[in-house]
Structure 1
């Protein structure tokens, strides 16, 4: 995190610097058939069957969860995906955790935010703004997620 100097009485500009926290590897099960939505688009429901999380800020085993993105088609043939992901498991110290991930993106790349509920030695994650970048393999059987803490102005 840095604050840029300003001149002539202007407020300082806060420029956050993301810090790498962890990477997750998530196994996806067979999705349900797409569910059409009245407002347009489709919801895709995919079970999370397990996975791992590792990095300097968090180590855990994902035991289950659910991905339920909404896919919207635009008039020009492109698709926008609203991500809604929920997972749970146990941290390396035995503490249970639950996370919610949501965001938006198009194609294979997305930007999301993770809200973490966890205790034990990883309890500080509950106070962090966690930015994530999920990617799903072509077969839609494995997702990888890179996660970063983003400091907020004090």
Structure 2
């Protein structure tokens, strides 16, 4: 079983190296060696997004198995060194399936829109997979103005939802492209 990534909000290299050392020390398996010439990408903290979720619709059964849950996003905020914005609406619509052993997998699909702090409209598509408790997602951000550079980044998200499923948050990091 692979070790969990531990990301730090600090953007300095020493903190990131420390996070990787912590990750390696928490691993039950020895860390694989990196071949010569391979550069391990280091994530950079971009922003944190928090949304308010309304009452979900009743689960929608899917013909292939599993259910889709539709949860309206009624608002939220994005704050961080790379992006500041107000989320005006959207929808979270994960598909939840159970395996033969009873384990659940959740495929996340989240869509949000609003206005950036410079007045530019934005649209975010987020998708990924994991359990209900831990997930990794990819965000595709469409925005102009001073934030248009976000459209060229590979953005990794780590979402969490409170127990009542009324508030969700996601910590977002850029992964450098080769």
> Structure 2-normalised TM-score?
0.80
3-state DSSP class of the match of 2:39? Answer: strand
Higher helix share: 2
1:24 aligned residue (26, 44, 49): 49
Instruction: List per-residue Cα deviations over 1:35-56 (Å, max 9, x = no partner).
Output: 0000000000000000000000
1:62 aligned residue: 87
Matches within 5 A, 1:2-151: 6=36, 12-151=37-176
2-structure distance, mates of 1:78, 1:107 = 11
How many pairs does the alignment contain? 146
Distance in 2, matches of 1:14 and 1:88, equals 35
Larger RCO (CA within 8 A; separation ≥ 6):
1
Separation of aligned partners in 2, 1:114 and 1:65: 14
Provide structure 2 residue ranges, at least 5 long, that are not aligned to the other structure: 1-12, 14-33
Shift of 1:14: 2.3
TM-superposed deviation, 1:84: 0.4
Return the TM-score normalized by structure 1.
0.92
Distance in 1 (alpha carbons) for counterparts of 2:109 and 2:70: 10
1:146 Cα shift? Answer: 0.2
> Which consecutive segments of 4 or more residues in structure 1 shift more than 4 A?
none
Q: 1:9 maps to what in 2?
A: none
| Structure 1 residues 2-32: Cα deviation after superposition (integer angstroms, max 9, x where no partner) | xx883xxxxx202100000000111000100
Deviates more, 1:88-97 or 1:72-81: 72-81
Q: CA RMSD in A?
A: 1.3
